[in-house]
């Protein structure tokens, strides 16, 4: 009986460690090669402007709020180089700029992003984003829409709790 319990405990331990290892190896559909927030006028020469229409550009972000993306010419910039790691064409990607453990800015890119292609785009940021207060910033994909109609949402995003904003 003791031997059976020991074998069961070992089996459970191995199963849980395998699950943990598999969960930690899950990758994003996008590999970020460069994430560089910069002050006005210091654009990277090999980067082109990300999508920006001829009118003020607002969209609903992951948390349901309206988000504004400034133009690139007169605002601070976020330069992102990334690769689509899936086998499907992407048409819309939203990125978050993380600094000090928080999303401090969001940008959206629209286009046709083929698998394996390196995309180098720059986006306008609000003047309130910089300085970041840290040199350890990171870009992460927040939400992706594929050409075939499927979507992907970053599984590590915290859920918005509207109850913390309600009046009592």
The string of DSSP letters for the chain reads -HHHHHHHHHHHHHHHHHHHHHHHT---SEEEEEEEEE-TT---TT-EE----SS-EEEE-TTS-EEEE--SSSS-EEEEEEEE-SSS-EEEEEEEEEETTEEEEEEEEEEEE-BT-EEEEEEE--TTT-S-S-S--EEEEEEEEETTS-EEE-TTPPPP-GGGGS--
Q: pTM of the entire structure?
A: 0.68
Q: Please report the pLDDT score of residue 140 as a whole number.
A: 92
Q: Please report the pLDDT score of residue 12 as a whole number.
A: 46
User: Which parts of the chain have pLDDT scores under 50?
Assistant: 6-26, 162-166
Domain boundaries, the chain: 28-165
Q: Please report the pLDDT score of residue 87 as a whole number.
A: 94
pLDDT one-digit tens code per residue, 143-161: 999 999 999 998 887 655 5
Contacts 24+ apart (CB under 8 A), 111-117: 111/51, 112/147, 113/84, 113/89, 114/84, 114/89, 115/84, 115/85, 115/86, 115/87, 115/88, 115/89, 116/83, 116/84, 116/85, 117/83, 117/84
């Amino acid at each position: 009986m003791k031997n059976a319990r020991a074998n069961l405990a070992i089996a459970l331990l191995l199963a849980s460690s395998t699950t943990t290892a598999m969960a930690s190896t899950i990758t994003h559909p996008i590999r970020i090669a460069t994430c560089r927030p910069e002050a006005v006028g210091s654009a990277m020469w090999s980067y082109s402007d990300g999508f920006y229409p001829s009118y003020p550009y607002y969209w609903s972000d992951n948390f349901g709020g309206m988000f504004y993306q400034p133009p690139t010419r007169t605002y601070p910039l976020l330069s992102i180089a990334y690769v689509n790691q899936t086998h499907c064409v992407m048409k819309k990607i939203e990125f978050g700029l993380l600094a000090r453990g928080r999303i401090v800015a969001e940008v959206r890119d629209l286009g046709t992003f083929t698998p394996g292609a390196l995309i180098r785009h720059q986006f306008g940021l609000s003047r309130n984003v910089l300085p970041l207060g840290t040199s350890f910033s990171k870009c992460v994909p927040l939400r992706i829409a594929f050409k075939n109609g499927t979507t992907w949402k970053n599984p590590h995003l915290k859920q918005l709790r509207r109850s913390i904003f309600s009046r009592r």
